[in-house]
Amino acid sequence: MRTLIGELVVPLIVLVGTLLFWLHIQEARSVAQRVPNGVMIFILGALVIVVGRAVKDYLATRHSDARDEDISLTIVTDFARDEWRRLVFLGLCVGYFLAFPRLGFDLSNAGFLVAAFLLAGLRPVPTLIGALSGAVIFHLLARLMDFNVPSGLLPY
């Protein structure tokens, strides 16, 4: 049960943060609400997938009859690695929050995406392509929606 709860911590934090942001902008112009409404729908869908997968995996391991010591050692090692990754990701989120006003929107997003993709186990080339693509998309959305985001080190 602890691994199930541990696996759901990050999606729940993302959901709560997005929900708070969404509630905060309800008085904003309708054009500024389009992206957050879409993001809320996407996050709710992703949360349903993550929760369903986590529950399925939990039930599958719970009903497993394997009691071998090697399997127990593997489970403990996997658990330690997964907990380490969760802690690093949490630190990465805090770092993003602290870097955002100093580095600006674009550099913070690119740096966060590179670190998150590497932490997820992607190879360097797909990481750079994905991170730069994501940062460009976020930049274009911010420009399109006329969001007031910090430029940081990059001149606009």
pLDDT tens-digit readout, 78-95: 666 777 888 888 899 889
For residue 146, what pLDDT is reported?
77
Mean pLDDT, residues 5-27: 77
pLDDT at 67 over 60: no
> What does the alpha-carbon distance between residue 142 and residue 61 come to, in Å, rounded to a whole number?
43
Q: pLDDT band for position 131 (50/70/90)?
A: very high
Q: Over the stretch 97-128, which tens digit does the pLDDT of each residue have?
A: 888 888 988 999 999 999 999 988 889 999 99
Which residue has better confidence, 140 or 3? 140
pLDDT at 134 over 80: yes
pLDDT at 69 over 50: no
For residue 3, what pLDDT is reported?
66
Tokens of 12: 């729940």
Please state the pTM of the whole predicted model: 0.56
For residue 44, what pLDDT is reported?
76
> What does the alpha-carbon distance between residue 20 and residue 134 come to, in Å, rounded to a whole number?
23
Cα dihedral 36/103/8/67 (nearest 10): 150
pLDDT at 73 over 60: no
